[in-house]
Amino acid sequence: MTLEDLLTDRKSLRTVTGKTADWDALAKDCVCFANGAGGRLLIGIEDGEVSPPAGQIVPPELLDRLRKRIGELTVNVQALPSLQRAANRGEFIELVIERSPNVASTRDGRYFLRVCDTCQPVLGDDVLRLANERPGRPWEAMDSSVPRGAADADKLARFVQGIRASDRVKDSVKEKSADELLTHYSLAQGDTLTRLGVLLLGTTADRRALGTAPLVQAIKYDERGQKINKWVWDDCALSPVELVDAIWREVPDFRESYEVAEGLYRRSVPAYDEKVVRELLVNALVHRPYTQQGDIYLNLHPERLAVVNPGRLPLGVTPRNILHASRRRNEALARVFHDLGLMEREGSGFDLMYDRLLSQGRPAPVPEEGADWVKVTIQRRIAKPEVMRLLTEADERFQLTQRERITLGVLAQSEGMTARELGAVLETDGADELAVWLGRLVQNGLVRTSGKTSGRRYFVAPDWLRGAQLDHKTTLSRITPHRLLALIMEDLARYPDSSSTDINRRIGAEISVKTVKRALDDLVDGKRVIYVGERRWRRYRLSDREHKGHEAV
């Protein structure tokens, strides 16, 4: 039985029977699926279970009641209930909700959208976005008026060869003829190519005639922000599939490398990880809105790469939840890229980038969203080469999962984090979600904790830090809280009315700003330190009691 995901949800039979029936909640879930890609509700299967209770009986009249109530409580929702029987002879209802060609809502005017495995409300201006992003017929499926036989012969041959060589495609699909594959992947309908077919397999002239075929500019900047080189793919000669290889091959910066110290030796590492760059390019090409014009920019700075894509993130996906939320804008195009082995499965592309970058001691990618653009920035250089050694040794010993590697990489690049700070980086909500990302790290002794509840801190075990030489720079970066408080008090006795920045600089710039600020807050709460001013003008000094104590000493 399928677990909950973007297209599947489970509900207890009590949701639609007896005094506990919650028809409003069911209507909301139906609207979510109708505004998404469609889906199904398995009614009669409890959360956390894969089968209905053994011997469960579904009242026959419940199917008609479901159909009637959903029609009464929703607008533009088509739901088809059917009775199913599991292997344990328990019955349940499979309620299939079709994707609505128009915006669906509840009868009282509320809008919802299915994002990943959750139902999210759509409010304010986002309702207009939802309407704009939901044409009755997707852009990919629209007729191009280009005859089926006008496809570029070389592109079609490479496409067919790639599908038949793919380990992600069923044998029954590989056995199809070239003409049948065009229909199977929605590249053609009847006698003509779809717009997706022209985008991937059309001639240069036909692709240019689309008006929204992707154009790419790679611009290199120097330390002063001046343009010093430029590469352009704006003639529409290449399909999105071909653009990925062409860009990686033709931009020389992607094959540069530099050396990092590794004990007594030096190790050559690539300036940019190939899988990360390719995933960035695929994301930009697959998830862009093809109803909107605009170039894709690859801005190459001395220390970073920023990929800027026209359009906003799909509705429901934000920079804050991008690690977890998954919503495809171009379903058929994503399917082609996946089956050709050019992109990861749904929702795992950013996980891959986080994993590879953090495992190499690089900072995590930084997504940003503007009024009509999305930007993802990655760093060129490795911040902490020792993290590579730590992650490699830990992975070889414990065979870490991807989420465990990401979490360990985040903690290894910090001095430890509170549960709230770690949750913010990993985009989790609550202790249960954070526990999934921590996995076996605490159990296996890779990560240790201190404190309780919201004040709990997570940090990499000191013995693993020593093994990876992550503690060799300074003892101050791992200073104990008691010693840090003493240093701050001593500094304020000498330099009253100091800012937190000045205090940080004098006692040790290698101690993080957050750690010093947290210690100052503790001293203020304990009435040992007072301050005047707010924000960047805040200045600290010892309280009268502590000042007299230091004078006596």
* CA–CA separation, 456 and 418 (whole Å): 6
Whether 367 and 322 have beta carbons less than 8 Å apart is answered as yes
Q: What is the dihedral of CA 434, 439, 444, 446, to 10 degrees?
A: -50
> 35: which 2 tokens?
């505004």
From the list 50, 47, 48, 39, the residue with the least C-alpha distance to 14 is 47
What is residue 472's predicted lDDT score, i.e. its pLDDT? 46
What b-and-e string marks burial along 146-181, b requiring 16 or more CB atoms within 10 Å of the CB? Answer: bebebbbeebbebbbebbeebeebeeebeebeeeeb
Residue 314, CA distances (Å) to 31, 36, 129, 376, 529 in order: 18, 11, 9, 15, 48
Query: 248 has which bridge partners?
Result: none
The CATH classification number of 477-552 equals 1.10.10.10
Residue 346's pLDDT is 57
The one-letter amino acid at 348: S
E-strand ranges in 87-201 read 91-97, 105-106, 111-115, 118-122, 143-147, 188-189, 192-194
Dihedral angle over CA of 8, 10, 13, 19, nearest 10: -110
Please give the single-letter amino acid code of residue 127: V
| Predicted pLDDT of residue 470 | 54
Pairing of strands 296-301, 216-221: parallel
Q: Choose among 366, 219, 228, 220: nearest CA to 295.
A: 219
Span 391-472: which CATH code?
1.10.10.10
Helix axis angle for 349-359 and 386-398, nearest 10°, is 110
Distant-in-sequence, close-in-space partners of 253: CB < 8 Å, separation ≥ 6:
220, 271, 272, 300
The pTM is what?
Answer: 0.71
Domain ranges of the chain: 8-132, 139-209, 248-379, 391-472, 477-552
Neighbours of 266 (CB within 10 A): 11
Residue 37 has a pLDDT of 79
Mean pLDDT, contiguous 10-residue spans, the chain (553 residues): 69 85 92 88 86 90 91 92 91 92 90 82 83 73 93 96 94 94 95 96 95 94 94 95 96 87 69 93 91 92 94 82 75 92 73 88 90 92 81 89 91 85 84 88 90 80 70 52 83 86 82 87 90 88 76 49
DSSP state of 536: G
Please report, in angstroms and rounded to a whole number, the separation of the first and last CA atoms in the chain: 73
Q: What is the pLDDT of residue 495?
A: 82
How would DSSP label each residue in 233-257?
E-SS-S-HHHHHHHHHHH-GGGG-E
Q: Do 310 and 296 contact (CB within 8 A), yes or no?
A: yes
Matching fold, domains 248-379 and 391-472? no
Residues in Cβ contact with 525 at an 8 Å cutoff, skipping those fewer than 6 apart: none
Q: What is the pLDDT of residue 4?
A: 63
CA pair distance 517, 525, nearest whole angstrom: 12
Please check whether residue 422 is in contact with residue 460, taking contact to mean a CB–CB distance below 8 angstroms. Answer: no
* CATH code for the part of the protein at 248-379: 3.30.565.60
Instruction: Write the DSSP symbol of residue 498.
Output: B
Q: Please state which CATH number belongs to domain 8-132.
A: 3.30.950.30
Q: Which residues pair with 417 in a beta bridge?
A: 458
CB 334 within 8 Å of CB 314:
no
- The residue ranges of DSSP E strands in 337-381, in sequence order, are 366-369, 373-379
Look up tokens 């503790």; give the residue: 522
d(CA 448, CA 416): 9
Q: Which amino acid is at 289?
A: P
Q: What are phi and psi of 232, to 5 degrees?
A: -130, 135
pLDDT on residue 135:
59
